[in-house]
A and B are shown apart, each in its own frame.
Chain A
Amino acid sequence: MFAGEGAGTTLRMRGDAISDRVYSGAITFFALCIPLLLLAIAWEIGVAGWPALHKFGFGFLTSSEWDPVKGEFGAAPAIYGTVISSIIALVLAAPLAIGASLFLSEIAPRWLRSPMGFLIDLLAAIPSVVYGLWGIFVLLPVLRDPVMPFLRDTLHLERTGLFSGPAYGPSMLAAGTILAIMVLPYIASVSREVLLAVPRSQREAALALGATRWEVMWGAVLPYSRSGIAGGVILGLGRALGETMAVTMLIGNRPEIAASLFAPGYTMASLLANEFSEASSDAHLSALMAVAFVLFAITLVVNAIARWLVWHVSRNTSGRVA
């Protein structure tokens, strides 16, 4: 009887060991799913885009001829549009986001901090397509009537070449503006986190030296959190580069490189959104896949840099606090 019980226990323990191994294998498998998914994305899109990349070579990135009928594919206008619209977005959003998070972490009274932070975070919860809808019916008319003529005629900025030409509405400027609103919460939330991680002693030291409140921020807080904020901005850049729906609805979708921000343009993401389901030939499809691959590669690099910067900061600060 005792022997039987002992055998049962051993058996159960062996069963436990096996089930433990199964569990361990299962979670390892799930963890491996993430790198595998990334690899699968790169592989599938890369292989499908390879014919176009191979055929057009480097010219795929520099040629601005995008003509599915003639079978000529150059992604330069889309790459240009992606970069320019993202730069506009960052130029508009980064100062606002950093300023707002400085205000929230350094100046605002305590009762204002969390509701205002919550409101800014809410911007990230709005779907892209709703931004696009709002952009079409609210932002475009506002840009068309007071803003664009004001920039062009009242401020006489048409001489710079950036703000010239007719103000139709759908344009690089419109896309950049909506992107700015969309990436603002991402930059702001990273900046706020990084600013809150700045040790009190830094601020107190600056105050003790007789710095004004602005000098505390400029001289002590910002230098300390510089690379973390840069990480947040680059994270925002990653978002802006890949944003699809709102940009597709506002940029005008014309595959041309124009100097003026009032002119319509194209981005890689909106090119894909518009043409992918109507790709007529294998060459067209392959060219679109190649565009997707370029977009994938660019955002991959940008995100990796941003993550590295943010992690770098969090590791450093936690080290110093401890």
Chain B
Amino acid sequence: MNAVSPPMSPPTRPTLRQRAFSERAGRTLARRRLVSGFMLGLLACAAVLAVLPLIFIFAHLLKVGVSSLSWDFFTQMPKPVGEAGGGLANAIVGTLILIGLASAVGLPVGVGAGLYLAERKGTCLAHAVRFLSDVLNGLPSIVMGIFAWQFLVRPFGHFSAMAGGVALGAMMIPMVARTTEEMVGLVPISLREAALALGYTRWRTSLAVVLRAASAGIVTGALVAIARIAGETAPLLFTAFGNHFWSTSLEQPIAALPLQVFTYAISPYDAWHSLAWAGALVLIALIFIISLIARFATRARFATGGGD
């Protein structure tokens, strides 16, 4: 430093230049405030716009769906074109069967993989599986359907409920695995240590103590996964295929609510369109009921956690 800073000068009236500067600062501040307010308004608009489609969809679904919903919808079979009435009893039952099959395939594998991820956190395989399960989760559902077709329909020569269930179950695996991992990770390590100290074997500790402590969370995760696959159509197009008749056989093509909604939606008949709306409403209601149960399962977990 070669120059010493000049001594503070006594306060004087601001020079012309200083006044111009502060005026400009005031002006830019006003402009910055204006820009800020404008952008905040824009962001609020974006938030409102993001919510609007949901409101439009639900409003229309309720308006049209409820008016075409009737008792027959739940108890009758589909009728041929031209005959009034008819329902989707077989599709509702078919969807429930497919959900059951998918859970039977997806839950054990998903929970098992999740246990592995939680218990062998740092291993190479765990990192790879975690990454790949996220990748699998983002795979287009139609690709899963084609895989199931190639794997379970082509060799057997006919469409089957089984193939549809496996396609949906495979989609559940990564979701269930990740929530299981998360929930098992939340169980305090002391619980595991206590069980081991009492002489429990590792597997009994994992299954009877840790998994049980995490069970409510895992149930929630499983229900969320079920809610997501319940409305899937694309994986069923070439596997479950749909069926106009009553069938509960796992070897045969089976009707499903989303498939039926698709078929009716692209048909040219008004009666079928209203059935499609009713079907969509029932499908959404089913998904919401499952999600609500999932929410309550979580709440129950927190309630018992507080009570303990």
A interface residue numbers (CB < 8 A to B): 16, 19-20, 22-24, 26-35, 37-38, 40-41, 44-45, 48, 95-100, 102-104, 106-108, 116, 119-120, 122-123, 125-134, 136-138, 181, 184, 188, 212-215, 217-218, 235, 238-239, 241-245, 249, 269, 272-273, 276-277, 289, 292, 295-296, 299-300, 302-304, 306-307
Contacts and interface: CB of A to CB of B under 8 A. Distances in A.
B277 to A, nearest CB: 7
Nearest to A243: B140
B212 interface: no
Contact of A30 (B36, B61, B108, B291): B108
Interface stretch (B5-13, B81-89, B201-209, B244-252): B201-209
B202 A20 contact: yes
Contacts of A24: 202-203
7 contacts: A34-B177, A131-B57, A133-B261, A212-B36, A242-B138, A273-B142, A299-B143
Secondary structure of the A contact surface, majority rule: helix
A307 B137 CA distance: 11
Contacts of A272: 142, 146
A282 B66 CA distance: 45
A27 B201 contact: no
A218 B115 CA distance: 42
Contacts of B241: 277
A28 B116 contact: yes
Interface in B97-143: 108-113, 115-117, 119-120, 125-126, 128-129, 131-136, 138-143
B136 A31 contact: no
Nearest to A246: B233
Contacts of B47: 99-100, 103-104, 108, 116
Contacts of B141: 242, 244
Q: Which of A19, A31, A96 has the most CB of B within 10 A?
A: A31
Q: Which of A28, A129, A245 has the most CB of B within 10 A?
A: A129
A296 B140 CA distance: 7
Nearest to B258: A129
Contact of B36 (A20, A99, A181, A214): A214
Interface string B253-285: 000001001100110000001001100100110
Given A28-B116, A34-B136, A138 B60 contact: yes
B57 A130 contact: yes
Contacts of B119: 27
B49 interface: yes
A235 B137 CA distance: 11
Secondary structure of the B contact surface, majority rule: helix
Contacts of A19: 201, 203
A98 B138 CA distance: 20
Given A34-B173, A188-B50, 14 more contacts: A23-B207, A30-B113, A34-B177, A35-B132, A104-B47, A127-B230, A127-B287, A131-B57, A138-B57, A214-B36, A238-B138, A245-B258, A272-B146, A295-B143
Given A30-B109, A116-B51, A272-B146, A214 B39 contact: yes
Given A107-B40, A125-B291, A127-B283, A120 B51 contact: yes
A41 to B, nearest CB: 5
Q: Which of B35, B140, B230, B287 has the most CB of A within 10 A?
A: B140
B71 interface: no
Contacts of A38: 132, 135-136
Given A102-B43, A245-B262, A138 B231 contact: no
B147 interface: yes
Contacts of B174: 34
A19 B203 CA distance: 7
Contacts of B40: 107, 213-214
A102 B178 CA distance: 27
Contacts of B147: 40-41, 44-45
Contacts of B35: 212, 214
B234 A128 contact: yes
B151 interface: yes
Contacts of A104: 47
A306 B230 CA distance: 26
